[in-house]
Amino acid sequence: MSVTREKILELAEELILTKGYNGFSYQDISTVMGIKNAAVHYYFPSKENLGTSILKTNIQRFEEMVENMQNRNFDEHQQVESFMKIYLKSNRENKICLIGSLGTDINTLSEPMRAELQKMVGRIVNWLEAALEAGRSKGLFSFQPSARDQALHILSALVAGLQLARILNKSDFKNIHQAIWEEITPHANKQL
């Protein structure tokens, strides 16, 4: 794979996470990289193509992460913790996540991009649901709603947590993160 292509993907993703999909242009990419806007079009003929590629890359990255965790015999507690750590990193870097960013712009996206976004979110929710369910049956987690509802609830808190932290105070995210974790962790005093 071309190094230029990889860099464009990386930069475009960062721009989506910092300025939003409709808030960046090919010019933003080309000037930062020191190339011409037409060079970006060479690798990604259209913005839709670029956006879809970013989503495909992220789906692949997510599935590799899950596979890797399973290969290393991570239990569900460790898996969910690892997943949530991605969001802590995003918060440190003042970024939001693709779900929150593209969720805002969804009605302005082309159908293929929308489909890819749905695919990505679908896989994340399904994985989280399964991890929560399995973790609960092993006594690693404790929560009342269905695993799917709890997965949606956790993902929501993470996604908007980043957005709120960027509006209010970066450090607020740590508390949100902590609250999620305590919500599903079986503590001694939780039963009191």
Partner DNA sequence: TTGATTTTACTTATTAGTAAGTATATTTGT
Partner DNA sequence: ACAAATATACTTACTAATAAGTAAAATCAA
Q: Is position 155 an interface residue for a second copy (rule: CB under 8 A)?
A: yes
**Smallest Cα–Cα separation from 51: which of 111, 121, 127, 126?**
111
Distances (CA, A) of 153 to 7, 105, 132, 178, 183: 34, 21, 12, 14, 11
Please give the structure tokens belonging to residue 154: 């956790």
Q: Is position 51 an interface residue for a second copy (rule: CB under 8 A)?
A: no
**Smallest Cα–Cα separation from 8: which of 37, 22, 23, 20?**
37
- Report the partner that residue 121 touches, choosing among a second copy, DNA, none (CB closer than 5 to 8 A by kind): a second copy
- Report the partner that residue 39 touches, choosing among a second copy, DNA, none (CB closer than 5 to 8 A by kind): DNA
Pick from 33, 86, 125, 134: which binds a second copy (CB under 8 A)?
125
- Report the partner that residue 183 touches, choosing among a second copy, DNA, none (CB closer than 5 to 8 A by kind): a second copy
Pick from 6, 10, 32, 45: which binds DNA (CB under 7 A)?
45
Q: How far is the CB of 87 from a second copy (least distance, A)?
A: 11
Are 130 and 147 contacting, i.e. CB atoms less than 8 angstroms apart?
A: yes
- Report the partner that residue 118 touches, choosing among DNA, a second copy, none (CB closer than 5 to 8 A by kind): a second copy
Residue with tokens 């969910």: 80
| Diameter over CA atoms, the chain | 64
Residue 12 CA to residue 9 CA, distance in Å, equals 5
Nearer residue to DNA within complex by CB, 1 or 192: 1
Binding site for a second copy (CB under 8 A): 18-20, 22-23, 96, 99-108, 117-118, 121-122, 125, 144-146, 148-150, 152-153, 155-161, 163-164, 166-168, 172, 175-176, 178-180, 182-183, 189-191
